């Protein structure tokens, strides 16, 4: 996955150059710890990125980490700076891509569920969406965790499970944070945007449901507050929950759908959807158009889940 993502930043820059409008920040990622042992362990783990050409994480002591980010509390014992990391505003990215594609002539069918496929001689002739028959030469199944249901309609098993995550959007008040912050002991992230803050994290396995557990939302706020000198805004904020598509081996599913000549799939990116999206899309486009890819995506082949 590290090797595949060497070109992620380049591809995001290309999206911008092509006219996709979205909010992106390039100040790096600051990882903070309350526990020295946890810091040492994570530093050793993150040094693996050097093998693939990424810059090494910069180890920071108690004073140095607060010099970079004065908002951090005295309890923070140290951290790491990952200078090449970026962060985007997810909503702006989705809307920017959609508007760009609409200008290019792509037609979207919002609030329209796919009910089935017309499968003939190993090829999909059409998709059925609320009694409408939509024909096509090629079909790409890329519906996150719900790709499991779509693949089952053409008799292909994809063992995807929903890994539910939560986020809380708060208005940005007071002195802005200089970096995106990852709180290493709790696996919670705080992202600074132009006019709001986003706190995100947790992993809940409770099936396919959009029920918002307010206790988990409050847990996010409390987890972030432990690392910060200043108090977070008192406003309740906008809480959200979504389901990450998880696979048993932790790897995404990218490639031709087994047994269906003209169908392809891209899903299973778990918590890595935003940073793997451009390279996954590029690899899939190359596979569809040229029959091969520059990147090695063999480990992500959907056939690994199919019994012959």
Q: What are phi and psi of 40, to 5 degrees?
A: -60, -45
Mean pLDDT across 173-184: 88
**CATH superfamily of the domain spanning 1-24+136-160+247-308:** FAD/NAD(P)-binding domain (3.50.50.60)
In what order do the strands lie in the sheet containing 139-141? 139-141, 263-267, 253-256
Do the bridges between strand 114-120 and strand 123-129 make them parallel or antiparallel, or are there none, so unpaired?
A: antiparallel
Question: What's the pLDDT tens digit per position in 220-231?
Answer: 999 999 999 988
Identical fold, 1-24+136-160+247-308 and 29-84+164-245: no
Q: What is the pLDDT of residue 308?
A: 55
- Residues 14-25: tens digit of each pLDDT: 999 999 999 999
pLDDT tens, 73-88? 999 999 999 988 999 9
The one-character DSSP state at 108 is: P
Helix (H, G, I), strand (E, B) or coil at 82: strand
Assign 168 to helix, strand or coil.
Answer: strand
pLDDT in tens, 48-81: 888 888 888 999 999 999 999 999 999 999 999 9
pTM above 0.75, yes or no: yes
pLDDT for 236? 77
58 CB burial (10 A radius; 0-12, 13-18, 19+):
middle
Distance CA 68, CA 60 (A): 9
The residues facing 263 across adjacent strands are: 139
- Count Cβ atoms below 10 Å from residue 206 Cβ, excluding itself: 11
Give the HSE-up count for residue 37: Cα atoms under 13 Å, Cβ half-sphere: 0
Residue 234 has pLDDT above 80, yes or no: no
Find all residues with CB under 8 Å of 235, minimum gap 6, and list them. Answer: 170, 171
> Who wins on pLDDT, 54 or 103?
103
Q: Which residues of 225-249 are buried (b: 16+ CB within 10 A; e: fewer)?
A: eebbeeebeeeebebbbbbbbbbee
297 in Cβ contact with 283 (< 8 Å): yes
CATH number of 29-84+164-245: 3.30.9.10
Give residue limits of the domains in the chain: 1-24+136-160+247-308, 29-84+164-245
Q: Residue 176: what pLDDT?
A: 84
């Amino acid at each position: 996955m590290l090797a595949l993502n060497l070109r992620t930043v380049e591809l995001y820059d290309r999206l911008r150059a092509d006219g996709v409008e979205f909010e992106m920040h390039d100040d790096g990622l600051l990882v903070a710890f309350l526990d020295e042992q946890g810091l040492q362990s994570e530093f050793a783990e993150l040094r693996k990125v050097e093998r693939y050409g990424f810059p090494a994480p910069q180890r920071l002591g108690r004073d140095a980490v607060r010099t970079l980010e004065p908002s951090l509390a005295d309890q923070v014992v140290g951290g790491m700076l990952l200078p090449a990391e970026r962060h985007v505003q997810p909503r702006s990215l989705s809307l920017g891509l959609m508007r760009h594609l609409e200008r290019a002539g792509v037609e979207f069918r919002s609030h329209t569920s796919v009910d089935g496929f017309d499968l003939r001689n190993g090829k999909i002739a059409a998709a059925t969406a609320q009694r409408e028959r939509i024909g096509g030469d090629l079909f790409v199944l890329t519906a996150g965790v719900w790709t499991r249901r779509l693949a089952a309609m053409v008799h292909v098993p994809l063992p995807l499970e929903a890994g539910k995550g939560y986020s809380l959007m708060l208005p940005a008040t007071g002195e802005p944070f200089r970096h995106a912050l990852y709180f290493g002991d709790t696996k919670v992230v705080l992202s600074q945007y132009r006019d709001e803050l986003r706190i995100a994290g947790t992993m809940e396995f409770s099936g396919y449901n959009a029920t918002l557990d307010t206790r988990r939302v409050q847990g996010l706020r409390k987890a972030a507050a432990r690392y910060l000198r200043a108090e977070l805004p008192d406003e309740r904020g906008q809480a959200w929950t979504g389901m990450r598509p998880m696979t048993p081996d932790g790897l995404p599913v990218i490639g031709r759908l087994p047994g269906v000549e003209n169908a392809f799939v891209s899903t299973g990116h778990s918590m890595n959807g935003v940073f793997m999206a451009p390279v996954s899309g590029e690899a899939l486009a190359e596979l569809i158009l040229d029959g091969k890819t520059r990147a090695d995506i063999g480990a992500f082949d959907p056939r690994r889940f199919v019994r012959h």
